[in-house]
Amino acid sequence: MKRLLVVVFMIVFVFGCNKKATSQENVTASAAKGNVVIEVGTAKITDEDIKAELEALPPQLKPYVATKEGKKEFIESLVKRELLYQEAKAKGLENSEKVKQDLEKIKKRLLVDAFLRDAIKVDAKVDDNVLKEYYKKNEKKFAEPEKTHTKHILVKDKKLADEIAEKLKKSPESFEKLAAEYSIDSSGKQGGDIGAHEKGTLVPEYEAAMEKLKNPGDISPVVKSQFGYHIIKLVGREKSKAPKFEDVKDEVKEEYLRENQKTLFENIVTDLKKKYNIKMNEEAIEKIGNETHK
């Protein structure tokens, strides 16, 4: 595990493209923002540069860097990256067409991000009455989904499953006892009780049989799934219910802000489409990628 962290660490620092520049062309700017603590060739790296690098670390790596060994690895990675950067420049790689194209792509992405950060600003302060009104209109979004509560007996052998099913026809009240005796599922100890589940969370064969049970206490025929042979008992169905506004206020606010940001974004795009002329060669676009499938 430790070795894996080191490898990930190296990839992030040596090959990461989100680094703050600490190279030759930024010597003056860097020096003005902290004390120089590392010199690599003509480049100077300040304590402020290092703090910025630490701040940009992925959360899962920060605990490792907090250790003595991790910090040493971190500093070594910065040095290695600077060495590679300076050698790449010395070989004139910054003038290659591929690098120029990649830099243009990065520039485009950064400019788009900067524009959106500036253009899509939603006030985080929202009046409770506004949120309550939004909640009323979108109550279903925050409601607990309908759930079905069942118990089951799971065995590997079809013959055994059929025998248990016959016993249940004569004595349906013995379901929990038979589950505890025969079921290979851990729920057997609880009389086969697996709790309440919303649609789409159980295997399809189980859910299909479960849906056919109408009344609490109804027991299904033997049902085959990838796990074996089930016999299912319906305990009950829990209807969808909306929580109290106070219990989901933070979630409502988050959704409200997100929706407003989306609306702002769509409005910006709509306006820009009017501002800038867009032409598309649909026929040519249709052909793109088709060659690889022939």
Q: What is the pLDDT of residues 70-110, one digit of tens each?
A: 999 999 999 999 999 999 999 999 999 999 999 999 999 99
- As for how many domains the chain has, the answer is 3
Instruction: Give the C-alpha separation, 110 to 161, whole Å.
Output: 62
Residue 197 lies in a domain: yes
Q: 254 and 212, same structural domain?
A: no
For the chain, the average pLDDT equals 87
Tokens standing for 32? 């003005």
Co-location of 10 and 89 in the same domain:
yes
**Within this chain, do residues 224 and 248 fall inside the same structural domain, yes or no?**
no
Residue 275 pLDDT: 94
In a domain, 183, yes or no: yes
What's the CA gap between 25 and 31, in Å, rounded?
12
- In Å, what is the CA distance from 248 to each residue of 136, 192, 244, 251, 262? 12, 33, 7, 5, 21
Q: 19 vs 265, which has greater pLDDT?
A: 265
First-to-last alpha carbon distance for the chain, in angstroms, is 44
Domain that residue 261 falls in: 128-137+244-287
Is residue 251 pLDDT above 70, yes or no? yes
Q: For residues 157 and 231, state if they share a domain.
A: yes
CB atoms within 10 A of CB 194: 18
pTM greater than 0.85 (yes/no) = no
**Tell me, what's the pLDDT at 17?**
40
User: Residue 172 sits in a domain of what CATH number?
Assistant: 3.10.50.40
Of 180-189, 192-201, 285-294, where does mean pLDDT reach its minimum? 285-294
Same structural domain for residues 41 and 63?
yes
In a domain, 121, yes or no: no
In tens, the pLDDT along 5-29 reads 444 454 455 444 444 444 444 434 4
Residues 224, 256 share a domain: no
* Burial of 69 (C-beta count, 10 Å sphere; 0-12/13-18/19+): exposed
* Residues 9 and 51 occupy one common structural domain: yes
**Within a domain: 292:** no
Is the separation of the CB atoms in 223 and 206 below 8 Å?
Answer: yes
**Residue 293: phi, psi to the nearest 5?**
-100, 0
For residue 161, what pLDDT is reported?
A: 97
